Structure 1
Amino acid sequence: MHTPLLRAVGTTTAVYGALVTARPALLARPSGLTTRDGAVPRDTETCLRPLAWRDLAVGLAMATAPEGPALRTATAVRIAADLGDALLLGPTLDRAVRPKVLAVSVGWAALSVLGLCARRAR
C-alpha cells in the first residue's frame, strides 16, 4: 500500500467534496447538468450535494484512517463510489460530456487501486 498516495487522493477528494457541497455548479457545469443558459437548476443542486458530501466524508476517512485495514476499507469505499458514478451516472449524461465524466470517475478509481497495490519506496 502506498499510504502517501492514498492520503493525497483522500485529501483532494475531501476538498473537492467540500467545494461542491458549497457550490454544486462546480460539478454540474462540467457534467452538463445545466440549463441552456448555464444555470444550475435547484433540483440538480439538491441532488449533487449528497454526492459531494459523500466525497468529503470518504476523502476525510482516507486522509485520516490509520494505516492498515481502516485505510484499505476507506479506499475500497472510494473505489466503489467512483465506479458507481461511472456505471450509474455516466450513461445518463449527454453524449458530449459522457467521455469526460467517465474518464474522471474511472481515473480516480484507478488511482486509488494503484495506491492500494503499489509498494512505497523505502
Structure 2
Amino acid sequence: MKVGLLRAVGVATAAYGVAVAAVPDLLARPSGLVDEEGRTEWAARTSLRPLGWRDAVSGLALAVAPDGPALRTAAYVRIAADFGDAVLLGATLPGRDRKLAAVAVSVGWGALSVAGLFADGRRREVRCLRAAGPLRG
C-alpha cells in the first residue's frame, strides 16, 4: 500500500468536497447542470451539496485513517464512490462530451486510489536491504 498516495488523494478529495458543498457551481457547470444563462438552479445546488460532503468526509477519512485495515476501508469507500460516480454520471449527464469528461475524471481518481491501495510500498525497502548484503548478527 502506498500510504502517501492515498493520503494525497484524500486531502485533494476532501478539499474539493468542501469546495463543492460551499459552491455547487464548481461541479454543476462542468457537468452541464445549469440553465441557458449558466446559472445553477436551487434544486441542482441542493442535490450537489451532499455529494460535496460525501467527498469531504471520505477524503478526510482517507487522509487521517491509521495505516492498516482502517486505511484500506477508507480507500475502498473512496474507490466505490469514484467508480459509482463514473457509472451514474456517465449514464445521466446531459451531452456526450460531459458524460465522457465525468467518466474520465471519476475513473482517474478511482484509479489513483486503486494504485495506492494495491501498490507495494515496501519494494524500495527490500531493494535497499538486498543492496546492503546479507544481515549478520
TM-score per shorter chain, which class?
Answer: over 0.9
1:1-122 aligned within 5 A: 1-94=1-94, 95-120=96-121, 121-122=124-125
Which residue of the partner structure matches residue 128 of structure 2?
A: none
Structure 1: 5+ residue stretches without partners: none
Aligned residues: 122
| Code of the aligned partner of 2:101 | K
| Code of the aligned partner of 2:49 | R
Whichever of the two has the greater Rg, that structure is 2
- 1:65-119: CA deviation from partner (whole Å, max 9, x where unpaired): 0000000000000000011111112211122311100000011111100001112
Percent identical pairs in the alignment equals 59
When the two structures are superposed, what TM-score results if normalisation uses the length of structure 2?
Answer: 0.87
Structure 2: 5+ residue stretches without partners: 126-137
Offset, 1:18: 0.4
Structure 2: how far apart are the matches of 1:15 and 1:92? 25
- 1:49-68: CA deviation from partner (whole Å, max 9, x where unpaired): 00110000000000000000
When the two structures are superposed, what TM-score results if normalisation uses the length of structure 1?
Answer: 0.97
